[in-house]
Structures are given as structure tokens and as C-alpha cells.
Structure 1
Amino acid sequence: MSTKNRDELDHAVNRRRFLGVAAGTTAAAIAGTAGAAGATAQPRGAGHGRPAVPRGNLGIQLYTLRDQIGTAGFAKVFDALERYGYDQVEYAGYTQGNGPLTLPQLRRLARDHGLRGIGSHVAYHVGDPAGYSFATSLEQVLDDAEALDLPYVGTWDGPFRYGTTVDGVRRASAEFNAYGAAAHRRGLRFYQHNHGNEFGFCSDDPTVRIYDLMLAETDPDLVFMEMDIYWAYTGVHRFSVRPDGTPAPFDPLDYVTAAPRRFPLFHVKDGEHDAASQDGYHMTDVGDGDIDYQRFIGTVTGGRYRKYHNWLVERDDAVNPDTNPAGSLSTARRSATHLHHLRA
């Protein structure tokens, strides 16, 4: 396994361990110091014009705040998110570290803080130690999404269960279609969240980009996409040339403008260019990096589907004190501030 594939596998495993031993800022930080920590400069892209992110469409993937949920619990986290001006939350597990909580209780708790559950990340086929995944627990996954009144339920896993050949990606895509059909029957929508490797090429046909094949093989009425914008741009860095050396440039934004209703959800994650990184970037809070979100979000929300798209802050390493010493709550606050001020 390559270093890059191992890194992405580690990322997926960390999601499955979403609420293990929590580290980072304590519950006291939520109640007091987090709101004041780290002064925020005037965001880039601020100024005249309408808000780039429509009111009601700003959310956060709770994986970003897994340390806080693991220590202080959902109530304290939701209180902070309400103060920061978030409208939505995307779940990455339904348990907390400070006592059990039923799904109806969790739904009410979010509602009481002015938050709507927009979606949830669930394993595609491996699952947590209890085997919770689309492949092993489909009806339970859908039951849970219904209990939380989620319009979307999806997976962070790529279409790699059967390898990276054309046939392997087609087999995985067929399973995504089946999950999408099952979700549709329950009034839900299934979605897939990308990392970087989806923009690579099939191992037995380097003329075929995996993401393109997955889009072509899945039913657009049943399988929707949550584009992680940061990971898509790492794909540009890594896969703009085919294995045989021929150019294969692409712009992630073009996928969205070509099929805007296919992409109801986005992960808004920023990164600075980094020549030492295989990805070409390292993660930052939204607004501190080099991804042109004024262009990206402004283009998407400038069309007829302005209120259709949902913008969810995420930073995978927000709990890592080495790469993010200000902590995950600071990431949530500073990213929301930037996006609230962004104009298009």
C-alpha cells in the first residue's frame, strides 16, 4: 500500500473511531474561552454584494469537533455552534463521551439550538466494531436517519471495495445505486463524499478517471455527491497528468456547474499550497488558505439553485494540537466568521 493510500485509510479509520478517547480543549473552553480565542482578521472576500452562502445553508461536519463531543457532549457543542451562527450539522456518529443520548433526544437538542441535521456519514462496507455500515446494517442506518429527520444520509468511503479497475468501480457504483434506491423509498437521499483518490485513474484503463466513471455508473436520481472541495483540489494537484504522461487537466467546479442538482452538499475545507506535501496543500481554517472560495461558492450560488446547496465546514486535523494549536472550536468559529462575511 502506498503512503498516500495508507494516509487516506487512516483518515477513514479515524472516522470509524469518531468518539474514542477524546483529546484537546476541555468542556470549560466551550463554556468560556472558545468564543474569545484567536482574533479574526477581516475575511478575504468580504465587502459589498450579497452573501455567498445563503442564510440557512451554513453547516459543519461534526467530525471536526469530535474531541469536544467526546468530552463535553452534544449540548455544549450545539450551544457553541448556535453562537457561531451555524444552521446545520452533519453527523459522524451519534454517541457522546458524557453519557448516553437517544436519537429523539439528539434531534430535539439540535432543534432547540436552531440547528437542523442535514446528513450523516456512515461507513460503506467496513463499519465500526459493531459492523454499522450500509453494507451490513442498511435498514438500521436508514431508521436512524429517519429518527433524526435527516434529508440525506451518505458515506465518506470511495468506490474502492472491489479495487480500482473499471469493473471494480462499476460493482461499487451498482451498490451505491442500491443504497440510493433504498433511501429513496424511505424519503431520504443517499450521497457519496470524495477524498483525493477518486480523481485518479482506473488501474486497468488509465484513460478513465474513477470519479467520472462513478458519476456515469450511478443514477443521478438516486446517488448524490457531497464534494469535499479541499480533497478535490488535491486531486487536481495529483491527477492532472495520466500515468502515461499525457495531460488530463480538470477543474472541480466544472463538475458542479455541469450538474448542479447532483451536488446538494459540500465540505468547505481550506488549504495552503505546500510543496512538501504529496497532496499539494496542508489544511487550514476556512479563509486562511489558498482555495478561492469566493469564486467557487459565488459561482455555485449565483445560479437558479442558490438555496439548494449546503456548505458544511470541515477540518480533518482540527483536533491535532501540532497542526491546529488553537483547537477545534476555534476552527468552527473562525471558519463560520469567514463564510458569513464572504460576498459574491
Structure 2
Amino acid sequence: MSRLSHPDPELTQRLSRRGMLGVAAGATAAALLGAAAPATAAPATAAPASSASASGRGRPVLPPGRLGIQLYSLRDKVSTLGFARVFAELAKYGYDEIEFAGYSQGSAGPITLAQLKRLARDHGLNPIGSHVGYYSSDPNAYTFAQNLTKVLDDAEALGLKHIGTAASPFRYGSTVDAWKRAADDFNTYGAAAKARGIKFYQHNHSEEFSFATDDPKVRLYDVLLAETDPDLVHLEMDIYWAYVGQFRFSKRPDGTAAPFEPLDYVLKQPHRYPLFHVKDGESDPSNPYGYRMTDVGDGDIDYRRFISGVTRLRGERLAHHWQAEHDNPAESFTFARRSSEHLHSLREDC
């Protein structure tokens, strides 16, 4: 559960997550170097801080029983205090669900999957998903590519309904054909997961919204959507990183405009997005990523608008799961408590 030091904040986050999962840290570094240069235009949909407030007098924006947290945000507590202490705190804060990013608890001692499942149940927490590595150069690595059967066995043992990866599909490069090959991999994992009654999913960072190196008019995320079977491959939108992608890649490499709205992807295919990461950021156009990550509720991403936009779709209110996350919170229990308080306070306008 180490934290790696790197001048690129997004690469730091991604490599640190992979360190936690036991995946080779350098697996996609070359792909990152090929990403398009950041755009300099201000983010198109960043809301002022006041618009993300809890104002409104209607029903709660957050569907009941659907607030989760990605345990990567609490990796420091898991690795020192153990899952039991962490789950007890999360239950006090009003969380309903958890998403794993590894099943070990460091110096807190060994734990079995059966014990982990029982701990979650005893604290009223539903294990909804888990992040596992995509591939590694180590043939014995715990990844989808190297150890698919074991990954799915463990997901079944925990009773997970979703199993996914936070790795970007740069395994074969950043061309259109490279992403088609990665899409084939994901279709394979999705078919194997579906056979066990589990949904496979991919969690985005911002580079997914960059452009193919061999066809700069093509956004790579669109290739992923087009080339994966919607019945087999689902998406977990990290809303913060999607808006970072909007900031960085609102222009093609030749400078022509290519705006997009992250919410529109969801509204077009709501059933492909069962999970979301609710992560906040303060708008900062001077930052190459356009935002500085904050605790949920302290930033400029309008979660009242975003969540309402999804949950108002044809009965979709009960179909999605919302996982609070911060890649490197100043104090992880404080982040978890404040995020829950903010999200539970949001009300729809009458």
C-alpha cells in the first residue's frame, strides 16, 4: 500500500493504486507519455461553489442505500488499523456500500475472504465491487490477464456483483487498433464474469479522453465504448477524472475544438454505468489538470446536478452506486465523514 512519489499527480495516483493491487507500477507509463498535450481552455461545465451546495427543498438527491466508498481512500487506515476498525467507522458515517482495492490489511495482520465478507455484513456494509489490475509482465500477477479464474473466484467468495479494473486500456498502445485489442480483452473478461453472474467494469482516469495517435480525430474513450459489448463490459465513471479529461482534451492535437460533457456519456447509455466515483475538485485553470482534488463538497463539481441527472432517468434511481473517493486525503476518516455528510445533505429543487 505504498505511495509513490512522482511529479505528475495523475500518474502518482494511478501507480500508487497499482502498488496496492500488486501490479507492476510501470505498466502504462509509455502510454501516458503519448497522451495529447493539456488544453488551456477553462472547463466547460465546472459549477461555481455555490451551485454545488445543499440548497434545495425536495427529496434527497442521493438514492437511499446507495452511498459507498472506495477503500483506496482509506488504505492508510486499512493497513494499520484493519478492516474491522475501518468498517466500524464507515457504518457510523452512514455508508451503505464498499468497493475494494485489495483484500489485505498490512500490519493489521492476515484476513481471509470469508472473514472479510462477514465483517462487512456485520457492519451493514454491502461489498459492491473491487478494483484489480488489468495485466502485468509477471505471469503470476493477480490481474485479469494473468489470473482471471482466481480474480473471479475471489469476487464470488466475497459475493461481489461487480469486478473491475482502474487500469486504462493502453496495454497495446494508443492507436485505434491498440484500443480495439484492449477492448477484445475486456470482452473476454466480461464474458467470463457474466457467466458467474458478475459485471466486469473499467474505471476511467483522464487519458481515456485523449485522442488516438494514429487518428487524432478519434477520442480513445469512444473506441472503448464502440468496441466493447455493452452486455459484457460496463463502466465506472470517475466523475472528477472525467472533468479533468474535459479540461485537458477539449481540443484535438491540431487545436480544433472537441468539447464533450461527461454526463452526456452516461445519459446516452445509463445501463453501462452501474458505478460512479464521487470525487471533487476545485477549478484551477492554471493547473495542467484544470482542478485541484478536494474532499467531496469542497470543490466545484456540481454533484447535485450530476446525480440528479442520472437518477431521474426512467426509474434509474435505484440502479446506480455512488462511491466517494479521494486519492490522497489529508485525513482519511475525516474525508469519509465529511463526504457522507455532504452527499446526504443534497436536496433536489422543487
Do they superpose with TM above 0.5? yes
Alignment of 1:271 with 2:281, yes or no, is yes
Q: Answer whether contact 1:17 1:128 (CA < 8 A) is retained.
A: no
Alignment of 1:44 with 2:53, yes or no, is yes
Partner of 1:73: 82
Secondary structure of residue in 2 paired with 1:60: strand
Distance 1:127 1:170, change over 3 A: same
Distance 1:273 1:127, change over 3 A: farther
Q: Give me the whole-angstrom Cα distance separating, in 1, the residues matched to 2:173 and 2:8.
A: 15
For 2:172, the aligned partner's letter is: Y
Distance 1:81 1:289, change over 3 A: same
Q: Answer whether contact 1:19 1:66 (CA < 8 A) is retained.
A: no
Q: Give me the whole-angstrom Cα distance separating, in 1, the residues matched to 2:303 and 2:324.
A: 12
Counterpart of 1:82 (choices 88, 91, 103) is 91
Partner of 2:317: 306
Q: CA deviation at 1:302?
A: 1.3
Q: CA deviation at 1:343?
A: 1.3
Partner of 1:179: 189
For 1:333, the aligned partner's letter is: R
Partner of 1:14: 16
Partner of 1:330: 334
Secondary structure of residue in 2 paired with 1:254: helix
Distance 1:175 1:5, change over 3 A: farther
Q: Give me the whole-angstrom Cα distance separating, in 2, the residues matched to 1:337 and 1:129.
A: 44
Q: Give me the whole-angstrom Cα distance separating, in 1, the residues matched to 2:84 and 2:138.
A: 24
What are the Cα deviations for residues 69-116 of structure 1, in whole angstroms up to 9, with x where unaligned? 011000000000000000000000000021111001100100000000
Q: CA deviation at 1:6?
A: 5.5
Alignment of 1:339 with 2:349, yes or no, is no
Secondary structure of residue in 1 paired with 2:141: coil
Counterpart of 1:201 (choices 199, 211, 236) is 211
What are the Cα deviations for residues 255-298 of structure 1, in whole angstroms up to 9, with x where unaligned? 01101101000000000011332110010011100001111001
Distance 1:289 1:6, change over 3 A: closer
For 1:15, the aligned partner's letter is: R
Q: Answer whether contact 1:47 1:341 (CA < 8 A) is retained.
A: no
Q: Give me the whole-angstrom Cα distance separating, in 2, the residues matched to 1:94 and 1:46.
A: 38
Counterpart of 2:171 (choices 150, 161, 179) is 161
Q: Give me the whole-angstrom Cα distance separating, in 2, the residues matched to 1:127 and 1:82.
A: 39
Secondary structure of residue in 2 paired with 1:208: strand
Partner of 2:148: 138
Q: CA deviation at 1:12?
A: 2.5
What are the Cα deviations for residues 166-213 of structure 1, in whole angstroms up to 9, with x where unaligned? 000000011000000000111111000000000010000011000011
Query: Which one is further off, 275-284 or 115-124?
Result: 275-284
Q: CA deviation at 1:16?
A: 2.6
Alignment of 1:95 with 2:104, yes or no, is yes
Q: CA deviation at 1:8?
A: 3.7
Q: Give me the whole-angstrom Cα distance separating, in 1, the residues matched to 2:261 and 2:110.
A: 44
Q: Give me the whole-angstrom Cα distance separating, in 2, the residues matched to 1:341 and 1:157.
A: 32
Q: Give me the whole-angstrom Cα distance separating, in 2, the residues matched to 1:234 and 1:113.
A: 35
Alignment of 1:123 with 2:133, yes or no, is yes
Q: Answer whether contact 2:139 2:146 (CA < 8 A) is retained.
A: no
Unpaired stretches in structure 2, ≥5 consecutive residues:
1-5, 23-51
For 2:90, the aligned partner's letter is: L
Return the TM-score normalized by structure 2: 0.86
Secondary structure of residue in 2 paired with 1:141: helix
Unpaired stretches in structure 1, ≥5 consecutive residues:
21-42, 319-323
Counterpart of 1:218 (choices 228, 233, 237) is 228
Q: Give me the whole-angstrom Cα distance separating, in 1, the residues matched to 2:88 and 2:72.
A: 17
Q: Answer whether contact 1:19 1:69 (CA < 8 A) is retained.
A: no
What are the Cα deviations for residues 284-330 of structure 1, in whole angstroms up to 9, with x where unaligned? 01110000111100111112211101000010011xxxxx2xx0110
Q: CA deviation at 1:46?
A: 3.9
Counterpart of 1:287 (choices 294, 297, 302) is 297
Distance 1:227 1:145, change over 3 A: same
Q: Answer whether contact 1:62 1:91 (CA < 8 A) is retained.
A: yes
Q: Give me the whole-angstrom Cα distance separating, in 2, the residues matched to 1:159 and 1:83.
A: 37
Identity of aligned residues (%): 61
Q: Answer whether contact 2:21 2:101 (CA < 8 A) is retained.
A: no
Q: Answer whether contact 2:140 2:147 (CA < 8 A) is retained.
A: no
For 1:309, the aligned partner's letter is: H
RMSD: 1.9
Partner of 2:33: none
Q: Give me the whole-angstrom Cα distance separating, in 2, the residues matched to 1:178 and 1:130.
A: 19
Alignment of 1:259 with 2:258, yes or no, is no
Total equivalences in the alignment: 313
Q: Give me the whole-angstrom Cα distance separating, in 1, the residues matched to 2:9 and 2:229.
A: 30
Q: CA deviation at 1:128?
A: 8.3
Q: CA deviation at 1:45?
A: 2.1
Secondary structure of residue in 1 paired with 2:316: coil
